[in-house]
Structure 1
Amino acid sequence: MDHGLRVPELDETALSGALDAFLCAAAAPDDPYLAAKRAQPATARELVRAYAKIRGALQLRQRVLDWGCRHAALSALARAEFGTDIELHGSDVCPADDYAAFHAACGLAYRRLTHPWQLPYPDAHFDTVLAGGTLEHVPNDGASLTELWRVLKPGGALLITHLPNAGSWTEFLSRRLFPAQAHQRRYALAAFCRRLLHHGFEAVAGGHHQLMPSSLPATWRRAWLAGAVERVQRLNALENVWPLRRFSATLWLIARRREGF
């Protein structure tokens, strides 16, 4: 697929440092999700690489919704790059207090969701929606896509990262070794782009991401395994090389809201 939008150069080292500082800015000692994010240095670098693929659609003075934001790591990266020249909103099913310190740290206005797919925002309210690792978890992904179309302005961007790839080798292992942690809903890139059309979105850029894992299950967190994870990260350079790309863990896409085709 032609990537269409050219992502400008960015300082991944600086952004990884900013993300590390953000993740350590607030204490959440009983949160296993955040504990996993903090346990492996490669995890922050992986998130920065994912953000780098979609950041070309972000611009100054945009109003952005971080949909399914949880602790709002993608918003933190956007804030680190754009400063106060971007308006950040976030929504999720988590109680507001769970990640309030993180939301405050990146200047995000948070609203808790109370409906399986309806969003508490007016029509055509946002320039951009960030959807990082969210669509595969919602009760009805089709209804959610239709709702995202509603809250986006015409021509607005839907930026998707960490969408589970149907052919992922790590998903294959997870379903057999850690079924409770595996994704039940997985997507193929070409088929998903066609599906987006039925919900009013045109995919204008996309690809595969993360050939090698960047984190470990809690029961596997050993120093030698953690070191191995760090060493194999260089193989992610092959994540979009055919035929290896078919086995990458996730997909990323930039799609635009269209009024007609």
Structure 2
Amino acid sequence: MRIPELGEPALAAALSDFLTTAGADGADPYLAAKRALQTSGIELARAYAKVRAALLPGQCVLDWGCRHAALPWLARAEFGERIELHGCDVCATDDYAAFHTRCGLHYTRLAHPWRLPYPDAQFDTVLAGGTLEHVPNDGESLTELWRVLKPGGALLITHLPNTASWTEFISRLWFPAQAHARRYALNAFRQRLLHHGFDTVAAGHHQLMPSSLPAAWRRPWLSRLVAAVQPLNALENVWPLRRFSATLWLIARRCEGF
């Protein structure tokens, strides 16, 4: 573990600059949602800050499910050229090429639901931000992540949907298309990781208050309300409120035996 190099405000500013100047298609609804509220970038910087202590200069890092490579960009903002960044997803190579180029990320489009086109033990670290809950088979995917990590390598998970999240409950009621079909409880998921060869060394809850809004709710007064309640996220790991946080984060290490 290391002492982080940038504070969260600097990380959020770097991400805002990345989203504004990368030159990608403004019609992309996914990017439009990320750009709509400043709080979305602040939330992502906070999530990265929870796991980044496991990133070190000289590492070879894979962002599994990278899309526009927001997490790798934050790593690039901290390390510059002292880190090697790879990314993979199901998106076409050209979809987010401007982001990948600016980030200096080597992108690979995936052709199989869970198999990864990398040799055994290639990566020091794997970033998995908001990915595991979307894959066809999360168990097979965890096995593949174990395979491509070096012994002792770190799996950094962020934005894993929390089974008791109150915001997820609202989404399931009013915006089911945006809700997650697969959700996780922290203690049970730590045990699940253990069965796939990962020892969890740090974990917690993230984001008690919402940081974004559905497109139908993007009104100036609601955006101001979302910004006003963000300080309540300081309670995201306080019992019993942590039970209702939106997502989970974990740092786990590949182990050869227990």
TM-score (norm 2): 0.98
What's the CA shift for 1:169? 0.1
Deviation string 1:76-117 (CA, Å, 9 cap, x unpaired) is: 000000000000000000001000000001100000000000
In 2: Cα distance, 1:30 partner to 1:163 partner: 27
SS of residue paired to 1:24: helix
- 1:67 is aligned to 64
The structure 2 residue matched to 1:245, chosen from 242, 245, 255, is 242
Identity percentage over the alignment? 75
What's the CA shift for 1:179? 0.5
Give, as a single letter, the amino acid of the residue that structure 1 aligns with 2:13.
G
Give, as a single letter, the amino acid of the residue that structure 2 aligns with 1:176.
L
Give, as a single letter, the amino acid of the residue that structure 1 aligns with 2:135.
V
Counterpart mapping for 1:47-62 below 5 A: 47-62=44-59
The structure 1 residue matched to 2:186, chosen from 184, 189, 192, is 189
Counterpart mapping for 1:19-168 below 5 A: 19-25=15-21, 26-168=23-165
- 1:15 is aligned to 11
Give, as a single letter, the amino acid of the residue that structure 2 aligns with 1:97.
D
Are 1:234 and 2:212 an aligned pair? no
In 2: Cα distance, 1:153 partner to 1:33 partner: 32
Give, as a single letter, the amino acid of the residue that structure 1 aligns with 2:51.
I
Give, as a single letter, the amino acid of the residue that structure 1 aligns with 2:44.
L
Give, as a single letter, the amino acid of the residue that structure 2 aligns with 1:172.
F
In 2: Cα distance, 1:13 partner to 1:148 partner: 31
The structure 2 residue matched to 1:205, chosen from 190, 202, 205, is 202
In 1: Cα distance, 2:204 partner to 2:193 partner: 15
What's the CA shift for 1:155? 0.1
Structure 2 residue ranges without an equivalent (≥5)? none
In 2: Cα distance, 1:83 partner to 1:29 partner: 27
What's the CA shift for 1:9? 6.8
The structure 1 residue matched to 2:169, chosen from 169, 172, 185, is 172
Distance 1:232 1:6, change over 3 A: farther
Distance 1:7 1:196, change over 3 A: farther
Distance 1:204 1:7, change over 3 A: farther
In 2: Cα distance, 1:252 partner to 1:117 partner: 21
Count of matched residue positions in the alignment of Structure 1 and Structure 2: 257
CA contact 1:7–1:52 (8 Å) conserved in 2: no
Structure 1 residue ranges without an equivalent (≥5)? none
What's the CA shift for 1:27? 2.7
TM-score (norm 1): 0.97
CA contact 2:2–2:54 (8 Å) conserved in 1: no
Runs of 4+ more than 6 Å apart: none
